[in-house]
Chain A
Amino acid sequence: MNPARILGLIAIIIFSALMGFSIDNFPFIDWKKEVTIAEVANIALTIGLAVWIPYAINSKLDKHKDQKNEVVDDCKNTLSSIRQIKEKLSACYSAGVISPLDKDAVNLLFEDADNKLYNLDVYLEQLFGSNHGLYYNEIQNCYNNYWNFVTDSPLMGSNYTQIDLDFNMKQIQLFNNLEQAFRKAIMRIHAS
């Protein structure tokens, strides 16, 4: 043990002895030396509650906040996946050609998006219970509109090999509607 620590311990012992002596001989207060078990329990309970209640509330709030952040991250990831479809179609429009492999890629991206949306709905239900539709329904409707338009004829027809301007503009507009629905849901989740 180093000398500084030994001096510190001596100082604490002297200070404690002085405190004990002062309290025992305090001139204005007559200390009542007898305490009952109920009084001790009462004080312990009061201190315990004072410590536990803020801790429990903060812990619950933090947990809920973590869950909301996770769902918001899921929203962003799902939107990123669907954005790949929009970008793929825009690239095909710019290239002036869409091949059968490009169409396969679009269908596979929709498959992936289907699964991500399902998982998102499950998480929202876990977080908001029967109110999950408030956050999910608009996303689902906009997604269905986008999927219905993009994978309808004429794009999926074998003879359709070039994306025209009208198709590209419409798919971008429907994607933007979907993006807005995601943003609204994220704002609602944060505000809940």
Chain B
Amino acid sequence: MEIRDNINIAQDFTKRPGARYVYEGDYSGELFLDTLLRPKFESAVNNQYILSIELDGVTGYPSSFISGSFGVLSMEKTAALVLRHINFISSSPTKIEKFEEEIKNPKSRPKKP
């Protein structure tokens, strides 16, 4: 499979990723999942290509953001499917490990409005 689409989180979403849920504040993982990640991921799966995700350029990734976006996507679609259709790009291997670890072992959190 080839890479045919990409998301640059700093350019396409925010340089300051926030908490897990929309009700917790700006630029949450849930907002990222609903507006960008899930639609592009589903398109990648339906059309059999890889979605590239550029992680650099932000102030840092809170665990709540990763869990609320990639963790939830993994619980919805399975870790194997997510890892097959997403390719992370970063100058920091540790950062990529954090995302892949969340996808492999997603932490579920109760949603309290």
Question: Interface on A for B, CB 8 Å cutoff?
Answer: 100, 104, 106-111, 114-115, 117-118, 144, 147-148, 151-159
Contacts and interface: CB of A to CB of B under 8 A. Distances in A.
B93 A110 contact: no
Contacts of A155: 62
B108 to A, nearest CB: 13
Chain A interface main SS type: helix
Most buried by B among A110, A117, A147, A159: A110
- Give 4 nearest A-B pairs by CB, closest first: A158-B25, A107-B60, A157-B24, A151-B62
Contact of B59 (A111, A115, A118, A153): A111
B93 A153 contact: no
B65 interface: yes
Interface of B: 16, 18-21, 24-26, 58-65, 67, 92-95, 98, 101, 107, 109
Contact of A154 (B16, B24, B107): B24
A157 B18 contact: yes
Contacts of A117: 94
B59 A104 contact: yes
Given A104-B16, A108-B60, A156 B65 contact: yes
Contacts of B58: 107
Given A153-B19, A153-B20, A115 B62 contact: no
Contacts of B18: 156-158
Contacts of B63: 147-148, 151-152
Contact of B19 (A110, A148, A158): A158
Most buried by B among A104, A106, A151: A151
A155 B60 CA distance: 14
Most buried by A among B20, B24, B62, B63: B62
Contacts of B19: 153-154, 156-158
A115 B64 contact: no
Contacts of B92: 111, 114-115, 118
A100 B98 CA distance: 23
